Structure 1
Amino acid sequence: MSGGTHLDNANPVIYQRSGERVLTADEEDEDILHLIRSINDPEHPLTLEDLNVVEQMRVNVDDQGSTVSVEFTPTIPHCSMATLIGLSIKVKLLRSLPNRFKIDVHITPGTHASEDAVNKQLADKERVAAALENSQLLEVVNQCLAAKI
């Protein structure tokens, strides 16, 4: 976030990372968490995994049905960054997975005050495409996806 901007959650709880695990060839396609675990939080110098926003148990892959579903949990119920976080997850998966996959990114039920509105935005292909045409918003998403140095 830019300097002087109010943070929704100035002191988030930081969780211990689950650690890297060696994947077998069969698990490689199904372990989506390794793609999204290092996405940067837009407000803090931490990853979504550090903040427990994404967890393996909330990622579901149906390889035969070509679907990926990811639930994410904002750090607070009124997180103003929830849509941006969901968009970052969706963009990372769209860029990383074969086109055959239908990607569903949504808020864990009951964890955000505006979950229906955010989920509706994230499920709307036209809204997602329009968001990605906005150069300023795309720059913020790319910053969330950039690898830490």
Structure 2
Amino acid sequence: MVSGLINANPIVYEKKERRTRSTPADVDEYAVEAIDQLEIFEHIRDIKDPEHPYSLEELKVISEDAIEVDDKHSYVRVTFTPTVEHCSMATVIGLCLRVKLMRSLPPRYKVDIRVAPGTHATEAAVNKQLNDKERVAAALENPNLVDMVDECLAPSYE
């Protein structure tokens, strides 16, 4: 991980119990099921923090309540809360969220990643960076950044 931590002693919370979506018995097995808040949360809950050996869920950087889904309009918004106001990894965390959802969701979805209002010193700049296609594409051309994102997205075997 990174030395010179901004938040050397973050508060670590207990993970929620995993839940599964219930599917009615009369649903056609070939029907496309709507994507909901729980499904998005299950995709992103285990992303590792770039600075700490904890998941974004354990650090309360993400929560199920901070996810909005409009399946009808193919829209997902994830709002995350950095652990400190001057978190230098906020853009990397947002990029991890975006990449994970790009890899997990059908391409018809528009994904909006946001820093929770009032939780980061450069909130507007981070939000602009995370939701600009060209900036995201440029970031994903940087091999060091891609390695960091892949490390955060690697499955943990706890």
- Which residue pairs with 1:63 in the alignment? 71
The answer to whether the 8 Å contact 2:34/2:71 transfers is no
Q: Secondary structure at the match of 1:133?
A: coil
**CA shift for structure 1 position 25:** 3.5
Greater Rg, structure 1 or structure 2?
A: 2
- Which residue pairs with 1:96 in the alignment? 104
CA deviation digits over 1:11-33, x for unaligned, max 9? 00011112111212388721200
Q: How does 1:1-149 map to 2 (within 5 A)?
A: 1-2=1-2, 5-25=3-23, 29-30=35-36, 31=38, 32-149=40-157
Q: Secondary structure at the match of 1:95?
A: helix
**CA shift for structure 1 position 148:** 1.1
Q: Secondary structure at the match of 1:143?
A: helix
Q: Which runs of 5+ in 2 are unaligned?
A: 25-32
**CA shift for structure 1 position 54:** 0.3
**Equivalences, count:** 147
- TM-score, scaled relative to structure 1: 0.95
- TM-score, scaled relative to structure 2: 0.90
Tell me, in whole angstroms, the C-alpha distance in 1 between the residues paired with 2:121 and 2:77: 21
1:84 partner amino acid: V
Q: Percent identity?
A: 54
Q: Which runs of 5+ in 1 are unaligned?
A: none
Tell me, in whole angstroms, the C-alpha distance in 2 between the residues paired with 1:111 and 1:19: 27
